[in-house]
């Protein structure tokens, strides 16, 4: 969902990123603490003290969010599930786990790890606050962080998928029905209901004068409703594609480009005329890479006449392709993981076809119309 972002390092082998929306909420939290909460609660503080403590507290809060997500990821790693990255964004954080848990017990442990970590951090900060010898600034920050971590843990236990509480609910339903798809459908419906409740309460807040909290609640509700729908749709598509091979959905005729074509020619004769964003690069009948609109955007407009496709393409050995016998459900997962709309189908160094996102949707649509 949030695949773009600024890399900030790694933890336990997991890439950490900041989505652009994180800077918005970080600024809001810092402004709220430094400009309102601390000056009102501690009127004797200087303005500089409020700003410094507010900034440090905000950073520790997002450190707590990161710890929450790391707890999910470490439990997933222990269960053998690959973790792509953790991205901090406007609503907190999200762990990019490329596979669904294989057993309900694994999901149950993964889901609870986050809130339990938040509760543990809340207890730690309340414990720091109770130390009489601590400076007032530390006590003030610890008190706020204790409550916010407690609130974060409680909020995430709301049974609205894909929140942690919704995943706990799904794991319980899954263990009883022995059907991940059925459990996901029910948990997603509950998640949608929770989203609508948030939106409804938010609208009431807006009309009673508390417009900021109302808009925020409505925004969270909209996000939850969309996330619940998207999570179930992704799983349903994977189930529909499972058991079918790439050969059944691939397209054998596709526009390829030579590596010595200029960027200007690529844009004028391929991208603008076809509307496609990705093209296989072929030289002497051999697959040598993929070029995309993203690569074109990396080249200044004045250099389009001199730069070639070879200079901006992703080499073949760095492109994740598939083979004709591969399962179609893996293609869908690959498209999501790599954040692309097309993957090449290769055999012995040659490209024999492509599978695009629209090919998968068309494959499902046709089979549904035929009652297959």
**356 and 264 assigned to the same domain:** yes
Do 370 and 264 meet the contact criterion of CB atoms below 8 Å apart? no
**Domain residue limits at 317:** 246-369
How many whole angstroms separate alpha carbon 26 and alpha carbon 34? Answer: 12
272-302: burial string, b at 16+ Cβ within 10 Å, e else: eeeebebbbbbeeeebbbbbbeebbeebeee
**231 and 250 assigned to the same domain:** no
**Residue showing tokens 């962080």:** 145
Asked, for residue 162, whether it belongs to a domain, the answer is no
Burial of 259 (0-12, 13-18, 19+ CB in 10 A): middle
CB atoms under 10 Å from CB of 166, counted, come to 26
**153 and 29 assigned to the same domain:** yes
Asked, for residue 171, whether it belongs to a domain, the answer is no
Pair of tokens at residue 361: 């949707």
Asked, for residue 269, whether it belongs to a domain, the answer is yes
194-229: burial string, b at 16+ Cβ within 10 Å, e else: bbeebbeebeebbeeeeeeebeebbebbeebbebbe
**215 and 272 assigned to the same domain:** no
The DSSP 8-state label assigned to residue 298 in this structure reads T
Q: What are phi and psi of 313, to 5 degrees?
A: -80, 160
Asked, for residue 166, whether it belongs to a domain, the answer is no
**Where residue 303 sits, what CATH number does that domain have?**
3.10.580.10
CA dihedral over 203, 209, 212, 217, signed as positive or negative: negative
Residue 284 gets the label, from left (phi > 0), alpha (psi -120 to 50) or beta, of left
Asked, for residue 167, whether it belongs to a domain, the answer is no
Asked, for residue 165, whether it belongs to a domain, the answer is no
- Chain centroid to CA 186: 22
CA dist list (Å): 337 to 3, 70, 73:
9, 19, 16
Residue 344's nearest CA partner among 271, 256, 283 is: 256
Alpha carbon dihedral 40, 46, 47, 52, in 10-degree steps, equals -100
**250 and 237 assigned to the same domain:** no
**260 and 237 assigned to the same domain:** no
Rounded to the nearest 5 degrees, what angle is found at the Cα of 338, between the Cα atoms of 332 and 340?
Answer: 75
End-to-end CA distance of the chain: 31
**349 and 230 assigned to the same domain:** no
What's residue 256's pLDDT? 87
**237 and 257 assigned to the same domain:** no
Do 50 and 86 meet the contact criterion of CB atoms below 8 Å apart? no
Asked, for residue 236, whether it belongs to a domain, the answer is yes
**Helices of type H across 178-316:** 180-207, 211-241, 246-249, 263-266, 272-274, 293-297, 309-312
The pairs formed by 34-37 with CB atoms below 8 angstroms and a separation of 24 or more are 37/144
**365 and 252 assigned to the same domain:** yes
**12 and 34 assigned to the same domain:** yes
**77 and 126 assigned to the same domain:** yes
Pair of tokens at residue 172: 């319980």
Asked, for residue 334, whether it belongs to a domain, the answer is yes
What's residue 110's pLDDT? 92
CA dist list (Å): 306 to 179, 228, 262, 288, 289:
56, 47, 6, 20, 19
What's residue 372's pLDDT? 59
**Helix (H) or strand (E) segment spanning residue 152:** helix 136-156
Domain end among 193, 221, 241: 241
What's residue 363's pLDDT? 83
**336 and 260 assigned to the same domain:** yes
What's residue 199's pLDDT? 94
Chain length of the chain: 372
Q: Which residues contact 21 (CB under 8 A, 6 or more apart)?
A: 89, 90
Domain end among 103, 125, 157: 157
DSSP string covering 70-120, please? HHHHHHHHHTT--EEEEEEETTEEEEEESS--SSHHHHHHHHHHHHHHHHH
Per-residue pLDDT of the chain (372 residues; tens, 9 = 90+): 445 567 788 888 888 888 887 888 889 889 999 998 999 999 999 999 999 999 999 999 999 999 999 999 999 988 888 887 888 876 677 777 767 788 999 999 999 999 999 999 999 999 998 888 889 999 999 999 999 999 999 999 998 888 899 999 999 999 999 988 889 899 999 999 999 999 999 999 999 988 888 888 898 889 888 888 888 887 877 778 888 888 988 888 888 899 999 999 999 988 898 888 888 899 888 889 989 888 899 899 999 999 999 999 989 888 888 898 988 888 887 887 777 778 888 888 788 888 888 888 888 887 777 665
Domain end among 157, 186, 211: 157
The DSSP 8-state label assigned to residue 263 in this structure reads H
Residue 310's nearest CA partner among 322, 299, 321 is: 299
Domain count, the chain: 3
């Amino acid at each position: 969902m949030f695949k773009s972002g600024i890399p900030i390092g790694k933890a336990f082998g997991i890439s950490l990123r900041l989505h652009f929306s994180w800077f918005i909420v970080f600024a809001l939290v810092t402004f709220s603490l430094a400009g309102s909460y601390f000056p009102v609660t501690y009127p004797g503080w200087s303005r500089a003290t409020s700003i410094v403590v507010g900034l440090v507290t905000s950073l520790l809060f997002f450190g707590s969010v990161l710890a929450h997500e790391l707890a999910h990821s470490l439990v997933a790693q222990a269960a053998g599930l690959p973790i792509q990255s953790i991205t901090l964004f406007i609503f907190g954080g999200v762990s990019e786990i490329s596979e669904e848990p294989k057993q309900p017990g694994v999901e149950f442990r993964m889901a609870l790890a986050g809130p339990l970590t938040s509760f543990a951090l809340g207890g730690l900060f309340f414990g720091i606050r109770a130390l009489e010898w601590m400076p007032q600034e530390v006590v003030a920050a610890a008190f706020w962080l204790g409550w916010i971590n407690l609130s974060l843990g409680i909020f995430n236990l709301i049974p609205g998928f894909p929140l942690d509480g919704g995943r706990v609910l799904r794991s319980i339903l899954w263990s009883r029905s022995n059907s991940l798809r059925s459990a996901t459908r029910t948990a997603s419906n509950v998640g949608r209901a929770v989203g609508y409740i948030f939106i409804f309460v938010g609208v009431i807040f807006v009309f009673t004068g508390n417009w900021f909290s109302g808009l925020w609640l409505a925004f969270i509700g909209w996000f939850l409703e969309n996330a619940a729908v998207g999570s179930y749709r992704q799983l349903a598509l994977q189930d529909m594609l499972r058991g079918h091979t790439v050969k059944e959905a691939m397209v054998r005729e596709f526009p390829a480009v030579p590596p010595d074509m200029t960027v200007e020619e690529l844009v004028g004769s391929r991208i603008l005329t076809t509307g496609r964003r990705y093209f296989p690069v072929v030289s002497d009948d051999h697959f040598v890479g993929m070029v995309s609109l993203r690569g074109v955007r990396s080249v200044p407009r004045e250099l389009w006449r001199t730069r070639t496709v070879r200079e901006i393409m992703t080499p073949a050995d760095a492109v994740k392709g598939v083979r004709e016998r591969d399962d179609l459900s893996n293609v869908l997962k690959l498209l999501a993981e790599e954040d692309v709309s097309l993957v090449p189908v290769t055999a012995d160094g040659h490209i024999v076809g492509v599978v695009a996102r629209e090919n998968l949707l068309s494959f499902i649509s046709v089979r549904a119309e035929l009652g297959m």
